């Protein structure tokens, strides 16, 4: 076996059972919830160096490192690894696949043990609080009292925010990147079109496509292609593709002809191999409904237990703009939370949070370094 | 019959025949091309008051006035009518349905007289120059030597630009609104997703859906929903819908729940009644390929015969931004054309060109008034 400098552990754990079911925030229960997670690095003796990573809409538990035979490393390999901002030589990093997902954790396309068929649209409606319930179950399973930090981008950042509001005592700090505390009408509109494309695909079979042996491939790839445009920026697409033809000349017909078309089609196609249509529906819907500050007293717990928080956005992100990140920062600050807000200059839109941007890596790295200093100091 | 203050005439004319076929810029011929057009107002004796209106992607010949039984007036009723900027008491206004369209003019879903079946994907590839060929045929049919002005928004503005480059002697002035001389990679990407949605719909039947009795309704409405988001602005959607539920409360399920979702779905549904999927493919593709300034000597004719031109954009238009309009203006100015460029402050994005925005109406009205003065003066 090749040496693994990240000390990667991949595991499945059944966190909820018949005797200890998962109750959903909006109603419903599941008596079997398995969670797939990965860890990197080593938990120190005092258990003060754990960093919990929450993934975005189409992420998974495989955040870092490159397995044999894989074309690409984990989705956040830019940030996680030896000597990187989330330094696996010093931190113990935990990243689970989300409840409702499709990469090892129980989701709507999983088999319902009560029926022997996939849950389909019978899967309970999801809420951001349900993700937090499951994350907390995993932390407890790992025997950790207090996380050094929770961190996530996009939907991952929303989980961090919800967690900080629901159970601030679980974490010594929080990092919320390229997120939103309240989707705009435009955000919801884009998601709505994606969901329409999926649900109106004949292969969707009313959500029971796993059992029917069909698949809403067209709808899911259309959804992905459209979403991908919104994850990047006008300038980034121009810099990368301009008006270049995919082949030597423009053919002039209706099919794929420009390089940008070919790229988008590739994004749509490859997405089918790694993602599930029902997971897309359920997870994107959680984002639409997320609006934690709309509730009176949302910040009460956090005010009593203020968690130092880094909020970070990217200048060219028009899907979740800096305005949306600033709203999170100001609401938290108003609740008495020590907040650092930083907009990173970056040209590639929302997906910047996945990329190796020096100012960004430095910001996250410095914040975590300091949190570790504080943790060491308080345990001395 | 009710009196019609616009003096509307609706007519079909067969502009191209076996003896006089239409040759397409990219190759191919059609031996039968019928054009549906409307006119408003009266052509003066010297034939110096004609304003030619070019419609956008999903427009048609019915630009102004409200017919009995119609819910809405023509698509540019905000600008065209008695006392309006394109004043039908003073101007003779011509608006044809586009070649390749689906509202009376020959298009890909028309019946090919040679086969008795619809043209489908056998319809020749379209180019902006083909629109100009047909427009010129119509002007000639109407016995007009020189148009007082050509005017259009979005794809309509692109036709005006192409026409000014190809045959500047046809017009005494030109008005190009919310257009682009070269789509960005992002523009092309949005169109590509729309076309994918249509062509991958099983009802598309390889483009022969008219003959097969199927229809790519899902694909076409998905295309429209997505496009509609890009025609408006984030702020306009927020002002109109915010996060309001469609009904009293948010239900929390995956279907239509937010008001913005219901609105978008309505846009997608009603579009099916008035538009054709093949027309959408063909006309949107013309825009992708449009890049007139890429050709050496593109401005030669126009430099010899400079046409006073108004170029106008809208501040919140992110589909065809002010930057794109400015590119048109500066290229024309460099060719020696007298150009007026104006950005109108407006919050509703690309669709602003269809709306009653006082500064905009005044700008267009004043420009046309002055062109009429000049025409009168030179004919005195």
> What is the per-residue pLDDT across A314-344, written as a single tens digit (0 to 9) for each?
999 999 999 999 999 999 999 999 999 999 9
Percent of chain A whose predicted confidence (pLDDT) is above 70 = 99
pLDDT given for residue B2 in this prediction: 57
**Residue A2: band (very low, low, confident or very high) from pLDDT cuts 50, 70, 90:** low
Instruction: Answer yes or no: are the C-beta atoms of B325 and B341 closer than 8 Å.
Output: yes
Tokens for B181?
A: 């001389």
Measured CA to CA, the distance from residue B319 to residue B56 in angstroms comes to 14
The mean pLDDT of B60-76, rounded to a whole number, is 95
Among B286, B309, B339, where does a domain finish? B286
Residues of B in contact with A125 (CB under 8 A): 252-253
Would you place residue B1 in the very low, low, confident or very high pLDDT band (cuts 50, 70, 90)?
very low
**What are the tokens at B358?**
């006082």
Whether A156 contacts A135, CB under 8 Å: no
Same domain, B164 and B30: yes
Q: Tell me the mean pLDDT in the region B218-241.
A: 97
Q: Are residues B97 and B58 in the same domain?
A: yes
Q: In this model, does residue A56 exceed pLDDT 90?
A: yes
pLDDT for position A252: 72
How far is Cα of residue A66 from the mean position of the Cα atoms in its chain?
19
From B243, B263, B286, the end of a domain falls on B286
Within 8 A by CB and 6+ apart from A99, the residues are A22, A33, A35, A105, A106, A107, A126, A130, A131, A134
Considering the candidates A55, A62, A135, A350, report the single residue annotated as catalytic: A350
Structure tokens at B56: 């956008």
Instruction: Give the residue among B92, B117, B355 at the shortest CA–CA distance from B236.
Output: B355
Choosing from A286, A301, A321, the residue where a domain stops is: A286
Residue A44 domain-assigned? yes
Q: Are A81 and A95 in the same domain?
A: yes
Q: The sheet that has B92-96: what strands, in order across it? A: B9-16, B33-40, B92-96, B50-54, B149-153, B174-177, B309-314, B339-344
Across the interface, do B182 and A243 touch by the CB < 8 Å criterion?
yes
Same domain, B251 and B313: no
Minimum CA–CA partner of B264 in chain A: A189
Band the pLDDT of A1: cuts 50, 70, 90: very low
Q: What is the mean pLDDT of residues B95-113?
A: 97
A207: CB partners within 8 A, 6+ apart: A108, A120, A121, A122, A278
> Are B267 and B301 within one domain?
no
Q: Phi and psi at residue A183, in whole multiples of 5°?
A: -65, 145
Interface test with A, best of B180, B189, B194 (most A CBs within 10 A): B189
Residues A211 and A142 in one domain: no
Domain for residue B70, yes or no?
yes
Residue B340 maps to a domain: yes
pLDDT above 80: residue B305: yes
pLDDT reported for residue B254: 85
User: Which chain A residues are closer than 8 Å to B220 by Cβ?
Assistant: none
| A128 in a structural domain | yes
The 10s digit of each residue's pLDDT in B356-376 is 999 999 999 999 999 999 998
Check CB contact under 8 Å for B258 and A291.
no
Option in A193, A195, A242 nearest B254 (CB): A195
d(CA B365, CA A41): 70
Calculate the dihedral angle through the C-alpha atoms of B350, B325, B294, B27, rounding to the nearest 10 degrees: 40
Most A CBs within 10 A among B26, B192, B194, hence the mutation to make, goes to B192
Under the banding of pLDDT at 50, 70 and 90, the label for residue B248 is confident
Residue B240 with chain A: CB contacts under 8 Å:
185
Q: Are residues A249 and A369 in the same domain?
A: no
Per the CB < 8 A criterion, the answer to whether A336 and A162 are in contact is no
Q: What is the pLDDT of residues B310-341, one digit of tens each?
A: 999 999 999 999 999 999 999 999 999 999 99
The SS3 assignment for B309 reads: strand
Strand order in the sheet with A33-40: A9-16, A33-40, A92-96, A50-54, A149-153, A174-177, A309-314, A339-344
**Where is pLDDT greater, at A68 or B287?**
B287
B8-25: pLDDT as tens digits: 999 999 999 999 999 999
Best CA proximity match to A131, nearest among A159, A92, A108: A159
Full residue range of the structural domain in which residue B144 is found: 9-182+290-379
* Token representation of residue A35: 């969670």
Strands A50-54 and A149-153: parallel
What is the predicted pLDDT for the residue at B255?
84
For the record, the structure tokens of B148 come out as 């007082």
Residues of A within 8 A of B125 (CB-CB) are 252-253
What span, in angstroms and rounded, lies between the C-alpha atoms of A161 and A167?
10
Task: Please state the rounded mean pLDDT for residues A250-255.
Answer: 79
- B226: distance to nearest CA of chain A, Å? 6
DSSP E strands in A227-294: the ranges are: none
| Phi then psi dihedrals of residue B48, to 5 deg | -110, 5
Which CATH number goes with the domain that contains B212? Answer: 1.10.1740.110
Cβ of residue A272 closer than 8 Å to a chain B Cβ? no
Q: Does residue A169 sit in the same domain as residue A258?
A: no
Asked if A225's CB is within 8 angstroms of B192's CB, the reply is yes
How far apart (Å, rounded) are the C-alpha atoms in residues A288 and A104? 24
Residue B363's pLDDT is what? 98
Active site residues of B: 154, 317, 350
pLDDT of residue B32: 94
Q: Are residues B298 and B271 in the same domain?
A: no
Q: Do B252 and B170 share a structural domain? A: no
Distances (CA, A) of B102 to B57, B105, B267, B279, B280: 11, 6, 18, 6, 9
Percent pLDDT > 90 in chain A is 95
Asked whether residue B111 carries a pLDDT value surpassing 60, the answer given is yes
**Domain-located, residue B41:** yes
> What pLDDT does residue A377 have?
83
> Are the beta carbons of B92 and B41 closer than 8 angstroms?
yes
ipTM of the complex: 0.95
Question: How deeply is B264 buried, as exposed, middle or buried, from its count of CB atoms within 10 A (0-12, 13-18, 19+)?
Answer: buried
- Please check whether residues A203 and A302 belong to one and the same domain: no
Query: Contact, B351 vs B318, CB < 8 A?
Result: no
> Number of folded domains in chain A?
2
Q: Which residues contact A128 (CB under 8 A, 6 or more apart)?
A: A158, A159, A162, A286, A289, A290, A292
Residue B104 has a pLDDT of 97
* CATH number (domain holding residue A299): 3.40.50.1820
Q: Is residue A4 part of a domain?
A: no
Query: Residue B10 and residue A356: Cα distance in Å, rounded?
Result: 60
Question: B171 - beta bridge partners?
Answer: B147
**Token duo for residue A174:** 């929080």
A134 close to A144: Cβ distance less than 8 angstroms: no
Shared domain for B23 and B152, answered yes or no, is yes
Helix (H, G, I), strand (E, B) or coil at B28: coil
Assess if residue A3 is contained within a domain: no
Contact B314, B353 (CB under 8 A): yes
Q: What percent of chain B has pLDDT over 90?
A: 95
B188·A238 Cβ contact <8 A: no
Closest CA to A291 of B226, B250, B260: B250
What span, in angstroms and rounded, lies between the C-alpha atoms of A109 and A113? 12
The residue annotated as part of the active site, out of A78, A109, A154, A233, is A154
The DSSP bridge partners found for residue A107 are none
Q: Is there a catalytic annotation at residue A228?
A: no
Q: Is A25 on the interface with B (CB under 8 A)?
A: no
Query: Hey, is A101 helix, strand or coil?
Result: coil
List pLDDT tens digits, range A300-318. Answer: 999 999 999 999 999 999 9
Quote the tokens at residue A100: 């409702």
What is the residue-averaged pLDDT of chain B?
Answer: 96
Range B193-208 average pLDDT: 97
Residue A109 annotated among the catalytic residues of the structure = no
Instruction: Output the pLDDT for position A3.
Output: 81
Instruction: For residue A123, count CB atoms less than 10 angstroms from its CB and return exposed for 0-12, middle for 13-18, buried for 19 or more.
Output: buried
∠ CA A309-A313-A315, rounded to 5°: 155
> Which residues are within 8 A (CB) of B302 and not within 5 positions of it... i.e. 6 or more apart?
B164, B165, B168, B332, B335, B337
Q: Transcribe B291-308 into DSSP letters.
A: -GGGSTTTTHHHHHS---
Reference A264, options A222, A233, A225; nearest CA is A225
């Amino acid at each position: 076996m090749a040496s693994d400098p990240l000390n990667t552990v991949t595991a499945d754990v059944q966190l909820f059972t018949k005797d200890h079911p998962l109750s959903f925030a909006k109603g419903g229960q599941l008596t079997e919830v398995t969670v797939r997670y990965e860890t990197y690095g080593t938990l120190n003796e005092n258990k003060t160096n754990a960093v919990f990573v929450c993934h975005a809409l189409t992420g998974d538990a495989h955040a870092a490192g490159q397995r044999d035979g894989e074309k690409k490393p984990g989705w956040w390999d830019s940030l996680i690894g030896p000597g990187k901002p989330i330094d696996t030589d010093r931190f113990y990093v935990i990243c689970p696949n989300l409840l409702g997902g499709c990469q090892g954790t129980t989701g709507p396309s999983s088999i319902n043990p009560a029926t022997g068929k996939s849950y389909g649209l019978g899967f309970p409606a999801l809420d951001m609080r349900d993700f937090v319930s499951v994350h907390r179950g995993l932390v407890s399973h790992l025997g950790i009292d207090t996380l050094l930090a929770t961190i996530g981008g996009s939907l991952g950042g929303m989980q961090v925010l919800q967690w900080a509001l629901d159970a601030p005592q679980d974490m010594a700090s929080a990092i919320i990147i390229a997120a939103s505390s309240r989707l705009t009408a435009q955000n919801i509109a884009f998601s709505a079109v994606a969901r329409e494309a999926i649900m109106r695909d004949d292969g969707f079979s009313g959500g029971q496509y796993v059992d029917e042996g069909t698949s809403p491939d067209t709808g899911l790839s259309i959804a992905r292609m459209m979403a991908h445009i919104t994850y990047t920026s006008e300038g980034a697409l121009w810099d990368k593709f301009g008006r270049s033809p995919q082949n030597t000349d423009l053919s002039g017909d209706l099919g794929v002809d420009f390089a940008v078309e070919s790229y988008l089609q590739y994004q749509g196609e490859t997405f089918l191999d790694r993602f599930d249509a029902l997971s897309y529906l359920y997870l994107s819907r959680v984002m639409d409904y997320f609006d934690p500050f709309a509730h009176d007293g949302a910040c009460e717990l956090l005010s009593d237990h203020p968690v130092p928080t880094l909020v970070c956005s990217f200048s060219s992100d028009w899907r979740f703009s800096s305005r949306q990140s600033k709203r999170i920062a100001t609401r938290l600050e108003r609740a008495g939370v020590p907040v650092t807000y930083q907009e990173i200059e970056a040209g590639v839109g929302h997906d910047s949070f996945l990329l190796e941007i020096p100012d960004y890596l430095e910001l996250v790295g410095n914040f975590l370094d300091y949190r570790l200093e504080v943790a060491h100091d308080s345990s001395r």
